[in-house]
Structure 1
Amino acid sequence: MKRLLKRLVRAVPLSLAVFATGLLMSGQLAAGHIALALLLALTIPHVVQRLERESAHIGSLRPLPRLAAVMLHDILRSNINVARLVLRPRGTLRPGWVWIPLDLTNIHGITALASLITLTPGTVSAELSDDRRYLLVHVLDMRDPETEIAEIKARYEAPLREIFP
């Protein structure tokens, strides 16, 4: 009974969000729409809990402001660099693929890293190895693979390791 109550309490915020979203998406407060939103709000959290393999363990949030500043700087700088690359004469791009060895083990941290890489113009996260130890990244203008790996690990992965231990 205690376990069931704990699962129900954990599902309350998600249930409320699903219920509110269902009502907002329907645009009406008819009985059928309310019933459907309620049915979804009671069902979806339990389905999602069964799919969840790992919970997010948050460590220190101290690196978060610095990481946000680094990301903002990198996005602005990369936008300018990509614009320059596009305007340069053809044949001067050096696209390439690089496997980034990961020290992150938390899947939520790995997901955040892949998202940060993809948010930066000129780079795209493409694949995670089955053992979660390598992330395949496409770089629009590859200078040196080792430099790319070192920058990603220092600028993004290191702070994320503190956030997601």
Structure 2
Amino acid sequence: MTVALSDIVVLRNLLRPLRDLNDAPSLCKYLESFYTLCKPVASTINTLARALYKVFCASLDPARKEMRQACFDYLSLGGLFSEGQVSLLSGLNPRPLSLVLHFFAVAIYSVGRLLLPFPSPKRMWIGVRLISSASGIILPIIKAEGVRQMFFTATVPTYYRIPPADA
């Protein structure tokens, strides 16, 4: 729902200067730009949702179990930890880099929980598998969404840019 509402705002602002909706060539150019301009919010929320689904999907792997528990514990820390995740999921923070940083922060937090108070070889091995599993979850999703479209939106060709809100 958040992505749909965000798309409506982007489309409204994009089509505002268009005087005639029957002018198909102009309309097509504006709509081509729409797909570039709506990507940051949509890809961030979709990537987070897909990653969370994979983390919480049933698995007997101890690394995945640890990652699930770490997600809950990370959110329960409150403050920046919970605000960051919630702002990403709600669309208030559409920055994909923030998503990646928080995702790996949860994984690193999980490894830290494993290694404290006393690291054992088994716990270190689970920690390695946890980081590997986290990378195996998020990186394919980002690749499917499009690295260039997510992180380097300014390099994707677009005909029209939405003017700043205060203009």
**What TM-score, normalized to structure 2?**
0.29
**What TM-score, normalized to structure 1?**
0.29
Q: Which has the higher contact order (CA 8 A, sep 6+)?
A: 2
Question: Relative to total residues, which structure has the larger strand share, 1 or 2?
Answer: 1
